[in-house]
Amino acid sequence: MPISREQFDQGLDNTAQRILKFLSDHSDNAYEPSEIAEAIYEGRIPEENSLWRGMALLSATWQHHSVMDGLVKKGLVDKKIIKGVSWYCIHRD
């Protein structure tokens, strides 16, 4: 599947692009990694009362940890740790 020229120039894969779009669309808020994973995998995470929901969210969250850190290093996303919890939001100039 091709990626856009912007993704290519910024060195972003499709997962990073989905994360950026979600954070851009919700630029007035900051989110925990599990909330971001749940949003970008909407419909693919088991339902609320499923036994597998927690495991699926944990797996998706850990899989995106390096993607999130890469977005922070590129200056596209901001990260703060508040009371031991990581929060991410789109970077504003």
Angle at the Cα of 16 from the Cα atoms of 21 and 12, rounded to 5 degrees:
115
CATH number at residue 40: 1.10.10.10
Looking at the structure of the chain, the number of domains it has is 1
- Stronger pLDDT, 22 or 41, i.e. the higher one: 22
The stretch 71-76 carries a mean pLDDT of: 93
- At 26-59, the pLDDT tens digits run 999 999 998 898 888 776 776 776 777 777 777 7
- Stronger pLDDT, 4 or 33, i.e. the higher one: 33
- Kindly indicate the confidence band of residue 11, based on its pLDDT and cuts at 50, 70 and 90: confident
Q: State the amino acid at position 55 in one-letter form.
A: M
**Residue 63's pLDDT is what?**
80
pTM for the whole structure? 0.79
* Burial (0-12, 13-18, 19+ Cβ within 10 Å), 77: buried
Parent domain of 71 = 5-90
**Residue 1's pLDDT is what?**
66
Tell me what percent of the residues of the chain surpass a pLDDT of 70: 94
**Residue 76's pLDDT is what?**
93
